[in-house]
Structure 1
Amino acid sequence: MARMKIVHILGDLRRGGAERFVVDLCNELAQNEQYEIYLVSLGENVEKSTFISEVSSKVNYLSFHKKRGLSLKVLFRLTSWLVEQKPAIVHTHLHTFEYLVLYRFISRNCRFFHTVHSIAEAECPNFLIKAFRELLYRSNKVTPIVVSADGSESFRKYYGMKKVTVIENGRPFLMLTDKAPLLIKEYKQDKNSFLLVHVGRIMKVKNQLLMIKAVQKFNAIEEKKCKLLLIGDIRDQSLYQQLYEATGNDGFIEFLGGKDNIADYLNIADFFCLSSVYEGMPISLIEALSAGCISICTKAGGIKDMIENEINGFLSTDNSVDSYYQTIKKAVFYPDKQRIKENSFNSFKLNYHIGASGQKHFQAYNLGLIQ
């Protein structure tokens, strides 16, 4: 019996939340021998700065080596490849939706899905592209998927549609590496400071300046200090320069760049910090929950669906420096941090393990809806 072909398409596999999730999802789906999983990257990927090395050997990986910008050549090559493969399911992510413009009208048997990994208006701000996508959504040629209740609400408002499928992001259990003992020695010797870790690309929506200013305010006022480690690739060089200048010679704040051993840092951290302007369902927060690392977050997007204040993390009341400082203060001096840690880990096991997300995707592919 022939296996069902399922194709997931991304722009590239650079380090980012959506890319991280799609690699994990393909690896999880490939465990089922009834399915033949393909992960297609329009762009090329180098091992050092992408997730290419983490794609399972059970997943069929293909790259079209697209450069920046729209490529009609890649559009036609992708269409020809799909015509040859005849997949049962094609699932696009992020900005790859329009690269199926031809194949959607050629194929009669394939079913199409697209995941909106952020709020709808941020993912598709162009009016003409929005109109094109809405036409396909309403005609049931593409099934939209969102990753959180907040994302569902934004999708319904933006496209004027009542029904959309919600499938939460997920991650497998994280594994420590042989670098973990070295990090303990480097960052956990100082008993007079709290260790805060932030994981996120340097870009405006992550709002790292708010976090930096709040930590600096905490350290200027409180006797016991906070040390902040910022982990993530630089996507906005001018913003990075601004953040770097804001820290000055502050020995309590370090930029570490992208790392492939996030579990090691979450394992030693006292707290995980996220101060985003908006989010879909951040993979970095799921990773923090899986490590039982206490989260200090703004109420952006799907975050407020994941974190219940003083139950499995802490939420600032607004996006002001003072509010985030007050939230850091409440978290670090909270009397029952062990309970928060346990609740964090339990919420991951119940809601955000990749196995649960994989099962819901299988249901959507086979039934067309989430039971």
Structure 2
Amino acid sequence: MTQTNRVSICHVAVGDLWAGAEVQLKVLLSKLVLRPDLNLSVILFNGGRLSEEIERLGIPVSVFPEDEWGSGKMLFELVRKFQRSDMKIIHTHKYKDTILAAPAAKLCGIPYVVRTVHGLREPFEGLEAFKMSLYESIERTVHRLCVNSIIGVSSQIERRYMAEGAVPRVVCIRNGIDLEKKPIQADRWLTRKELGVDAETCLIGTIGRLTPVKGLSYLLQAVPILLRQRANVRLLIVGDGVIRKDLEAQARDLGIGENVVFLGHREDTLELMQALDIFVLPSLSEGIPMALLEAMAASRAVVASRVGGIPEIVDDGVEGILVEPMDVTRLAESCLRLIDSPETAMKMGEQARKKVVQEFSATAMADRVAGLYKELVTSR
């Protein structure tokens, strides 16, 4: 296919984090870049890990430094960049990149804007809740005036934006995990030894940002219940964030400091995942969490909150156990059930792996996104 026949698509993202949405964007681009019919480029508002990962894929990346430029100059530079291009589709991913890049695209006559919604608004209170409501009002206006299609990563998100009615086309394309990469052959027992965990100890773990919406305070509250029933339990918390010190203080106050390990940010999360006996995700809000997909791909038994897109991934009692958010007693009971029945945990882990392979591959996700692009450019 000649260069002139390829559809030019620019992804625009804030890129200030390396978390679920950013990992998902990198996974998507790693598959889209293989398609001869697409010409990809990326604009990020921050340098860092995401920029580095995308550059490794051979995709051109432009960094528009938001901290230096401010919103006015950002909009001006986006317009200038778009005017000099032959882009047909701008694809945005979060609030800030959408309210800047979508209007810029329309000002420049770029035909189509696609926006992926990676999760619904996290719960806030007081002034923060008011601010988020204001942001959502601005976002709805931008959607109505500038966006042609919204991708929701879960059916819950799809229903929410279909009900809003601001955008002509809303579709559900669930997150995917790259199952084609060579699996890491981690030595489970060596990793556990490095962590100081013996074969008789049940290692429960979670991986993600340490923020209030992840519900880790409730997981810590469940640990004393577990210890009263089973002495050989350790909790591994992998990740960093704004509430790390608060969580560490809570663990000390609960008297479980010796049973909880805070590892901070780690690059070897897949190896750590394989060392776990049970993966727990006690979130208060989620889209389609990458950490959960990775745990299932590693055949780990999972206990997770019944929120967001999680019930679309885990059938309760089949691939794992679902609990209501903030239900500390049920969270502990579910972990105890898996501790007391290794056969059940193993069976659920096997079913979890099977589910991810069949329904959540990165290739299938990218094919659906590329299909949406094709529908848009051939609709006129």
Fold shared per TM-score above 0.5? yes
Q: Is the helix fraction higher in 1 or 2?
A: 2
Deviates more, 1:224-233 or 1:50-59: 50-59
Q: Give CA-to-partner distance per residue, 1:262-282, whole Å, 9 cap, x none.
A: 110111111111000010111
Partner of 2:88: 88
Q: In 2 relative to 1, CA 129–321 (structure 1 residues): closer, same or farther, beyond 3 Å?
A: closer
Is this contact kept in 1: 2:149–2:167, CA < 8 A?
Answer: no
Q: In structure 2, what is the Cα distance between the partners aligned to 1:52 and 1:180?
A: 32
Unaligned runs of 5+ in 2: none
Q: In structure 2, what is the Cα distance between the partners aligned to 1:163 and 1:333?
A: 48
Is this contact kept in 2: 1:119–1:155, CA < 8 A?
Answer: no
Q: In 2 relative to 1, CA 177–63 (structure 1 residues): closer, same or farther, beyond 3 Å?
A: farther
Partner of 1:39: 42
- 1:70 deviation in Å? 4.6
Q: In 2 relative to 1, CA 228–295 (structure 1 residues): closer, same or farther, beyond 3 Å?
A: same
Q: In structure 2, what is the Cα distance between the partners aligned to 1:192 and 1:260?
A: 26
Of all paired residues, the percent bearing the same amino acid is 20
Q: In structure 2, what is the Cα distance between the partners aligned to 1:104 and 1:37?
A: 16
Q: Report the 3-state secondary structure (helix = DSSP H, G, I; strand = E; otherwise coil) of the residue aligned with 1:91.
A: strand
Q: TM-score, normalised by structure 1?
A: 0.88
Partner of 1:242: 246
Q: In 2 relative to 1, CA 69–215 (structure 1 residues): closer, same or farther, beyond 3 Å?
A: farther
Alignment of 1:132-147 (within 5 A): 132-138=138-144, 141-147=147-153
**1:272 matches 2:279:** yes
Q: Give CA-to-partner distance per residue, 1:182-229, whole Å, 9 cap, x none.
A: 52432475122111120110111001111111123211x113432111
Partner of 1:289: 296
Alignment of 1:113-128 (within 5 A): 113-119=114-120, 126-128=132-134
- 1:368 deviation in Å? 3.8
Q: Report the 3-state secondary structure (helix = DSSP H, G, I; strand = E; otherwise coil) of the residue aligned with 2:209.
A: coil
**What is the identity, as a one-letter code, of the residue corresponding to 1:231?**
V
Q: In 2 relative to 1, CA 166–256 (structure 1 residues): closer, same or farther, beyond 3 Å?
A: same
Q: In structure 1, what is the Cα distance between the partners aligned to 2:111 and 2:100?
A: 15
- 1:259 deviation in Å? 1.4
**1:73 matches 2:73:** yes
Partner of 2:101: 100
Is this contact kept in 1: 2:319–2:349, CA < 8 A?
Answer: yes
Q: In structure 1, what is the Cα distance between the partners aligned to 2:110 and 2:300?
A: 45
Partner of 1:351: 359
- 1:85 deviation in Å? 2.0
Q: In 2 relative to 1, CA 67–177 (structure 1 residues): closer, same or farther, beyond 3 Å?
A: farther
Q: Report the 3-state secondary structure (helix = DSSP H, G, I; strand = E; otherwise coil) of the residue aligned with 2:45.
A: strand
Alignment of 1:143-158 (within 5 A): 143-157=149-163
Q: TM-score, normalised by structure 2?
A: 0.86
- C-alpha RMSD of matched pairs (Å): 2.7
- Which of residues 26, 29, 33 is equivalent to 1:30? 33
Q: Give CA-to-partner distance per residue, 1:100-158, whole Å, 9 cap, x none.
A: 25423323343101111112576996445434443454457431111111222333455
**What is the identity, as a one-letter code, of the residue corresponding to 2:151?**
I
Partner of 1:18: 21
Is this contact kept in 1: 2:302–2:349, CA < 8 A?
Answer: no
Q: In structure 2, what is the Cα distance between the partners aligned to 1:207 and 1:32?
A: 39
Q: In structure 1, what is the Cα distance between the partners aligned to 2:226 and 2:70?
A: 46
